[in-house]
Structure 1
Amino acid sequence: MAPIHAGQRVAVLADAQNLYHSAQSVYSQNIDYAALLEKAVQERELTRAIAYVIRAQSEDEDRFFEALQDIGFETKIKDIKTFGDGSKKADWDVGMSLDAVTLADHVDTVVLCTGDGDFSRLCNHLRHEGVRVEVMAFEESAADELVDVADAFVDLGERDETFLL
């Protein structure tokens, strides 16, 4: 496992949907994305910070998207899909994975801000490519297989006063 050092180039990929639902279900609060980004970078060189968000036509979402950009995140926005039976779906798993694989040649570390176990195979792939993988999520809602394959895991719940608004 590669240690953290000041010259490391870091990409931070934040699954806003996953973080939102985890913070709401456990704490009924929202994520402090400025604190999240600061902890993810930790004095290293930030190459890219991308927040993957879903447009659900809620009243404050444009303000939220602008706030993410002000903090330093590039936002990638996907509209929620509603199917004929009324069910809704929107996720960024494939988009985040493709971005992580694309960025792997340009960074030393990828910080995945999600607890979604679907990203465990991505972690294995990135580590095989020589990229350090760190995961930031709430332990109580993070998939064990994701935590187990990461080089480092930051439990946002251990410092909820820092990471929640």
Structure 2
Amino acid sequence: MRQSTVHTGQRVAVLADAQNLYHTAQSVYSRKIDYAALLESAVDDRDLIRAIAYVIEANSPDEESFFEALEEIGFETRRKEIRTFGDGSKKADWDVGMSLDAVSLASKVDTLVLCTGDGDFARLCSHLTHEGVRVEVASFGASTADQLVEAAHTHYDLDDEADRFLL
């Protein structure tokens, strides 16, 4: 997965947009993400400072065991409930929360790995780069916004090694 300027000793944080990864893995592959493989590859023998997975609570039967598995792997979990509006529409996303965590971590890390294909994070990449942080994106290329790929120092396309990153 690693393609360029990576040094052992770099301090790295990994922020995983679980909802974004889940939807792509399900729609393209009908499979689930292997978060242990994702974290190991994202860290790549560097010093892990923080790993945070942003999850949505949907009251599904297996979600608590999924959250516990993430924590056993080494992720902190940030949880948000789905909000249902009067018209029946539902919304739950972590864009602002992930961005705030990334900005807060910027002074503590050399590299930040965003595990998402959401183009809304392109501006965050530009900001972090301006702050001197190396930004890497790990996502499924087929569903990753071009502006996010362009804004990051490096994009690791999980499609290239799908069997490694999927259960």
> Is the TM-score greater than 0.5?
yes
Taking the aligned partners of 2:27 and 2:150, their CA distance within structure 1 comes to 23
Determine the structure 1 residue equivalent to 2:23.
21
Deviation at 1:144, TM superposition (A): 0.4
Q: Report % sequence identity.
A: 71
Secondary structure, in 3 states, of the residue corresponding to 1:91? coil
1:87-126 equivalences in 2 (<5 Å): 87-126=89-128
Determine the structure 1 residue equivalent to 2:59.
57
Deviation at 1:12, TM superposition (A): 0.1
* 1:12-49 superposed Cα distances (whole Å, 9 cap, x missing partner): 00000000001111111000000000000000000000
Determine the structure 2 residue equivalent to 1:141.
143
The number of residue pairs the alignment matches comes to 164
Q: List gaps (5 residues or longer) in structure 1.
A: none
Q: For the aligned residues, what is the CA RMSD?
A: 0.7
Determine the structure 1 residue equivalent to 2:71.
69
Determine the structure 2 residue equivalent to 1:39.
41
Deviation at 1:50, TM superposition (A): 0.1
Deviation at 1:64, TM superposition (A): 0.2
Does 2:165 align with 1:160? no
Does 2:6 align with 1:4? yes
Taking the aligned partners of 2:128 and 2:29, their CA distance within structure 1 comes to 31
Q: List gaps (5 residues or longer) in structure 2.
A: none
Deviation at 1:3, TM superposition (A): 1.7
Deviation at 1:148, TM superposition (A): 0.8
Letter in 1 for 2:38: L
Secondary structure, in 3 states, of the residue corresponding to 2:59? coil
Taking the aligned partners of 2:102 and 2:37, their CA distance within structure 1 comes to 22
Deviation at 1:68, TM superposition (A): 0.1
TM-score by length of 2: 0.97
TM-score by length of 1: 0.98
Deviation at 1:133, TM superposition (A): 0.2
Secondary structure, in 3 states, of the residue corresponding to 1:146? helix
Taking the aligned partners of 1:34 and 1:152, their CA distance within structure 2 comes to 21
Deviation at 1:100, TM superposition (A): 0.1
